[in-house]
Amino acid sequence: MESLWNDQEAAKYKGDLALRVYTSRLLGQNPSLVLHGGGNTSVKITQENLVGATEEILYVKGSGWDLATIEEGGFSPVRMAHLLKLAKLQALSDSQMVNELKTQMIRASAPSPSVETILHASLPYKYVDHTHADAVVTITNTPTGWERIEEIYGDRVVIIPYIMPGFDLARLCAEKFTTEAGKQTIGMVLMNHGIFSFGETAKESYERMIELVSQAENYLKQHNAWDIPQTPVIQEEKPLSYALAELRYQVSQAAGFPIIASLHRNPKTLAFAQRKDIGEISQQGPATPDHVIRTKRVPLLGRDVEGYVKDYQQYFETHVTQGKEPKTMLDPAPRVILDPKLGMSTIGRNAKAAAIVADIYHHTIEIIERATVVGGYQALSPQDLFNVEYWELEQAKLAKGGKPPMFTGEVALVTGAASGIGKACVESLLQRGAAVVGLDINEAIAGGALSAIADLDKRPDFLGIPCDVTNETAIQTALETAISKFGGLDMLILNAGIFLPGCAIKDLSTDKWRKVMGINLDANLVLMRECHPFLKLAPNGGRVVIIGSKNVPAPGPGAAAYSASKAALNQLTRVAALEWGKDNIRLNSVHPNGVFDTGIWSEEVLENRAKHYGLTVEEYKTNNVLKTEVTSRDVAELVASMCSDLFAKTTASQIPIDGGNERVI
């Protein structure tokens, strides 16, 4: 492992806290050190308060901040004098500790201090770094981990037996450090947890961390446990989307709410899932207590969908009905499922949670495989895992979590998603917690075409797929990709369409007619047909919303192909509603009119149309009964509402959103 310290870069960071930010970010850049908020850093600073008194303040990483992106405001400033007094207490409950830490901050708006704050305070060094370095955790998670750590580091580190994070760990570390640390001590290893380094400067503490972790990596290399050879895997190439969707349905039933199931099928995960000893090594538990909190349940090895369900039922009967776990907090769904055909599926309440589990378990696979080579993987005991998962602080966090957004755990597919109504639908559904797949012939959809949505191309809950919806193969490929990403489909928004310039029937060519029918009608038939098996497996029932047109109830001259295609699509929707009701799928249509913030309505076109009717542009935009303008956002909000429980008992409806059109009325 190489140091990323750069003297020129470091010179830009002025002051102790700024340098703490710099080295924290250096640590955060390396996933093998910290992952998704894991790890902790701190610095002790002497400063003057408002009344002129000098006091020492511990700035420790605050809850919710990630080392890779942390800023000065992400550190919680806590009075050292009080922390050192707390460290000398014989006992302190977790809730008491949290209260004491919050009440001793010097900035009320600061994030909550880490549960390891007292531990950082008790170490007699200005800078303290703590990571969950994969290499160190690998070695500690073996039957002879303690002896191996002693062999690697000698007296350069103090070794701490595993104790759950909190006050008891801080007190033990302070006691052992006082009696065992010497001039040669530069770090501390917490068994099954991670490693600390410290120093009088930010650079010294950071580079000691790199040095200590490098020693562990070199030890694994010397024991041929670093580069694990990939064993040949059995990989069936047939589509797996339906199997994954059915799995997602069963897991959602077990959990009691919709979940996201993300498929990670590659040589690494398949090789791991196909190991002969997978039933043993995968069931021992996660690599660190932090991973218990983030992944919750130890992974289950699946045989088939029915086997998963039986596993859940057996677990529930064994642990809940016998009173071994709090009934109100139990979520019987696993967070990782290993299957010899699927590879690895990660489960989350939303797409971000599933992505975090995936990142963690990719690292866990490496830790397990390397530890197995060194002497055998050995995680925390079942009791330790139970204690962490049902930790007082974790239960308090769950209790005040609040109600999740409306569509949390659900998946929506929107066609024509790069602009206009389709883009607005993506926004509305994301805001309500859905994971969204956007299809569009515009290839920019895959690279953040919806730039109005902040960091869309970085969001784990959005997947943009370039797709010509008139190509059946392209649709099937897009669905396979979408289901692999999120696990299923709950909502289908059929928005993609085309409106050619006005043309009388006598001048309408067969090619133009077929082009309009191909996009507005035929493509939607294929989409409905191909999506139907997945909508049947939607945990809360499938929903389809068709973006129709005012031209269905009130066609106009010069739009024969468009009006006929939309009317045929409307009739197709009505038939589907009759056929799919038994599958708990509801279909409804919205008929917009006069939506002028779409691509086809340029300022020039608007001005010409308004002039044609003898109106100003504003008068033309509001030329309806209610004298109101209809926007893409208005249509999208109605679409999202029709996917909600508000319309749970409505199917085959047709709702105009046009401000009131006299011909429709």
Closest CA relative to residue 639, chosen from 619, 651, 655, 628:
655
- Give the Å distances, CA to CA, from 294 to 38, 262, 468, 630, 645: 10, 16, 39, 44, 30
- What is the Cα–Cα distance from 129 to 21, expressed in whole angstroms? 12
- Give the Å distances, CA to CA, from 560 to 154, 525, 553, 565, 598: 85, 20, 13, 8, 21
- What is the Cα–Cα distance from 486 to 346, expressed in whole angstroms? 10
Q: Are the CB atoms for 401 and 375 separated by under 8 Å?
A: no
φ, ψ at 100 (rounded to 5°): -65, -40
CB atoms within 10 A of CB 454: 7
User: In the numeric block, which tokens belong to residue 234?
Assistant: 């059995």
φ, ψ at 572 (rounded to 5°): -60, -40
- Give the Å distances, CA to CA, from 368 to 81, 153, 422: 42, 22, 45
- What is the Cα–Cα distance from 557 to 268, expressed in whole angstroms? 60
φ, ψ at 396 (rounded to 5°): -65, -40
Complete DSSP assignment for 116-154: THHHHHHSSSSEEEEE--HHHHHHHTSTTHHHHHHHHHG
CA angle 17, 18, 19 (to 5 degrees): 90
Look up tokens 């037996």; give the residue.
Answer: 161
Q: In what order do the strands lie in the sheet with 187-190?
A: 75-79, 54-61, 40-48, 127-131, 194-199, 187-190, 157-160
> Which of these is catalytic: 127, 249, 562, 620?
562
CA end-to-end span of the chain: 72
Verify whether residue 562 is a known catalytic residue.
yes
User: Number of C-alpha atoms within 13 angstroms, CB side, residue 402?
Assistant: 3
Catalytic residues: 562
